[in-house]
Amino acid sequence: SQQGEEDPQALSIQEGENATMNCSYKTSINNLQWYRQNSGRGLVHLILIRSNEREKHSGRLRVTLDTSKKSSSLLITASRAADTASYFCATDVNGNQFYFGTGTSLTVIP
Amino acid sequence: GAGVSQSPSNKVTEKGKDVELRCDPISGHTALYWYRQRLGQGLEFLIYFQGNSAPDKSGLPSDRFSAERTGESVSTLTIQRTQQEDSAVYLCASSRLPGSAYGYTFGSGTRLTVV
């Protein structure tokens, strides 16, 4: 089964609002990554957080990691219509394989 | 090249035919991965190449699937005797090192449709 599970499966917000999506995983990890996938396009790497880090920022993105709860969250602040995409978390368990969840589909309404 | 290049971008094939998908990783990236993404589902790991080490084939779903990589360059994923359940987007990714701090760089994928 997939290591990562995103929640919610779908999210619809107004432009300017913040979007929060969560990822839970099952086993110990080396790091966790978030990716964005626009419809019909490849995945784009957004941010990586290592297992010894608790929070990381990149522009309008904020990622947290709670290894005790085996969960991570991705916050997109001041959302824009261009943020409309699917967002996936990926867990690096052993450096050989990354396990992706089923993704959160985000729709930002202009 | 500047990014990971996959070809073809779309492939429609008849059930039972063999298909070959190609991935050109970023130059200098030692690690290369193949994933499969079925409609509405997450990415499914297929195979991983790291330098000249033996590949990790643990994700290949059946013996109809095989992949090769020459050194640290092009990789091909071959599906023999395609079935309708093979229909999916096949994504290739490369990274400079395993578990790279910069993550994977993905190609745009090959959309395979088996009719």
Give the distance from residue B40's alpha carbon to the nearest chain A alpha carbon, in angstroms.
7
B103 → closest Cβ in A4, A33, A101: A33
pLDDT at site B19:
98
CB neighbour list of residue A29: distance below 8 Å, 6 or more residues apart: A51, A67, A91, A92, A93
pLDDT at site B99:
60
Tell me if A41 and B59 make a contact (CB, 8 A cut-off): no
Q: Percent of chain A scored above 90 by pLDDT?
A: 65
Q: CB contacts < 8 Å between A and B, how many? A: 60
pLDDT digits (tens, 9 = 90+) for B37-64: 888 777 888 998 988 888 889 889 999 9
Q: What is the mean pLDDT of chain B?
A: 90
Average pLDDT of span A80-99: 86
Compute the Cα dihedral for B101, B103, B104, B108 and give only its sign: negative
Six-digit token pair at B16?
A: 């039972």
Give the distance from residue A63's alpha carbon to the nearest chain B alpha carbon, in angstroms.
15
Give the distance from residue B115's alpha carbon to the nearest chain A alpha carbon, in angstroms.
20
pLDDT over 50 (residue A1):
no
Q: Does B114 touch chain A (CB under 8 A)?
A: no
Q: How far apart are CA A96 and CA B48, in angstroms?
A: 7
pLDDT digits (tens, 9 = 90+) for B1-22: 578 999 999 999 999 999 999 9
pLDDT over 80 (residue A81):
yes
Q: Does B99 touch chain A (CB under 8 A)?
A: yes
Q: Count CB-CB contacts under 10 A for residue A51.
A: 13
Tell me if A48 and B102 make a contact (CB, 8 A cut-off): yes
A65: left (phi over 0), alpha (psi -120 to 50) or beta: beta
Q: Which residues in chain B are closer than 8 Å to A25, comparing Cβ atoms?
A: none
Tell me if A45 and B102 make a contact (CB, 8 A cut-off): yes
pLDDT at site B103:
77
Q: What is the mean pLDDT of chain A?
A: 90
Three-class SS of residue A83? helix
pLDDT at site B67:
96
B12: left (phi over 0), alpha (psi -120 to 50) or beta: beta
Q: What is the largest CA-CA distance in chain B?
A: 41
Residue B99's alpha-carbon distances to B60, B104, B107, in angstroms, are 21, 8, 17
Segment among A51-55, B40-44, B85-89 with least mean pLDDT: B40-44
B43 → closest Cβ in A31, A45, A88: A88
Dihedrals φ, ψ of B45, to 5°? -65, 135
pLDDT at site B100:
60
Q: Percent of chain B scored above 70 by pLDDT?
A: 95
